[in-house]
Amino acid sequence: MKELYAMPALRMAGKILEAAANVKNKDGAMLIFLHRSVDGDCVGSACGMCSVLRTLGVNCYVAMPEMLPADMSFMGIEDLLLNLYDESNGLMAELRANGRIYGKPYVQALSVDISESNRMGTCGEFFDMAEDKLIIDHHASITMRADNMWIEPDASSAAELCFYVTAKIAELKGIALDMVLTPIAAQCFMTGLVTDTGRFTYKNTKPETLESAGVLMQHGGDITSVSYNLFDRKALYKFRVSAEARMRVKIYADGKLAITTVPRALFDKHEALPDAVDDVVSAMRDIEGVETAIVLRELSTGEIRANVRSVSTFDSAAFAALYGGGGHIRAAGFTVKDYEGGIEDLAEDVIKKASELL
């Protein structure tokens, strides 16, 4: 573990142990929150921490703002997830009415890979309900700091931070790491590391990141399985939608900007989910000469979701912030509701603003 991370990891581990004791004393439950438009890092971080907390005897669940993407089914985490996006199951109504989860009082919230409730989708209101909150995040766009937070923009992923916290939990309890780092948790944290480092090829991959991956491998994290399922395995509908989205790519700003729009009709044509084009933005960034790549996709809700990736000089997080989003310098995103003129008009505005910055 990098020395810079040791003290904040120890501090956060102590706070999580205090929260765990409080939840158990009140015979309550803890919810772990992540951002909407879920990815391998937020899901891996949340489910990894949930598994760790369950080893401590805590009634803990991951508050899901949407359905788990099919390419994450290999993780074996279904029993950790709490569906808080479907009103029909009654869980959301129970939380609103009496603050209970399966009959247990909702005592504690922990958010990972996200700090703001307005980016948690349907789960945001339940995060705001909690009196006690802890936050672990690594997004550069987050400027707030408080005693209940660990924000580390230099870290490769939220999963890396959660792994360090887990190691410190074991240290504070005076037990072996494998007493809290279950094989499921190791696989989940590995999923986060592999996702946010692009299989350990992005510039955010540091020596300590690889050291963490090595320890996770020893405890059940399988790099090969994670890489195959998240990067290589493709359902036929994903293959077809991705191919069409790539054919729609247009180049601007003297070859520095690549953008594609994916209207809802294209998803409907192939009976595809919005995650079908998750691989496109990175492929666009790899085009020779491209500095910035942007994918705009139209959701069934009418929202337009954007993914922004850059190579060396373009600040993706700052650009996403122009539309109410955020993220990292090299990878960010935003969601726009009810944009007048729809996806093509938004694309024109995005092209204009991005070109001016390039």
Determine which helix (DSSP H) or strand (DSSP E) holds 334, and give its type and residue range. Answer: strand 331-336
Q: Enumerate residues 6+ apart whose C-beta is below 8 A from 135.
A: 110, 111, 112, 115, 146, 148, 149, 150, 151
Judge contact between 77 and 47, C-beta under 8 A.
yes
pLDDT of residue 142: 66
Tell me the mean pLDDT in the region 29-51: 96
The pair phi, psi for residue 259, each rounded to 5°, is: -140, 145
**Sign for the pseudo-dihedral over CA of 53, 55, 61, 62:** positive
pLDDT range class, residue 288, cuts 50, 70, 90: very high
Q: At 326, is the pLDDT very low, low, confident or very high (cuts 50, 70, 90)?
A: confident
Domains of the chain: 3-230 (3.90.1640.10), 236-357 (3.10.310.30)
Confidence label for 338 from pLDDT (cuts 50, 70 and 90): confident
Q: What is the pLDDT of residue 122?
A: 94
pLDDT tens for each residue of 239-270: 999 999 999 999 999 999 999 999 999 999 99
Distance in angstroms (rounded) separating the CA atoms of residues 338 and 346: 10
The beta strand positions in 93-166, using DSSP E, are 100-101, 104-112, 133-137, 149-151
pLDDT surpasses 80 at 276: yes
Q: 131 pLDDT exceeds 70?
A: yes
Dihedral of the alpha carbons of 270, 271, 275, 280, in degrees to the nearest 10: 10
- The b/e string for 281-310 (b: 16+ C-beta within 10 A; e otherwise) is bbbbbeeeebbbbbbbbbbeeeebbbbbbb
- Taking the CA atoms of residue 318, residue 319, residue 322 and residue 328 in that order, the dihedral angle to the nearest 10 degrees is -50
CB atoms within 10 A of CB 207: 8
135 DSSP β-pair partners: 111, 149
Q: Which amino acid is at 302?
A: G
- Asked if 101 and 61 touch (Cβ cutoff 8 Å), the reply is yes
For residue 119, what is the DSSP state? Answer: G
- What per-residue confidence (pLDDT) applies to 140? 66
Angle at 219 between CA 165 and CA 37, to 5 degrees: 60
pLDDT by residue (tens digit) across 184-235? 999 999 999 999 999 999 889 999 999 999 999 999 999 999 999 999 998 8
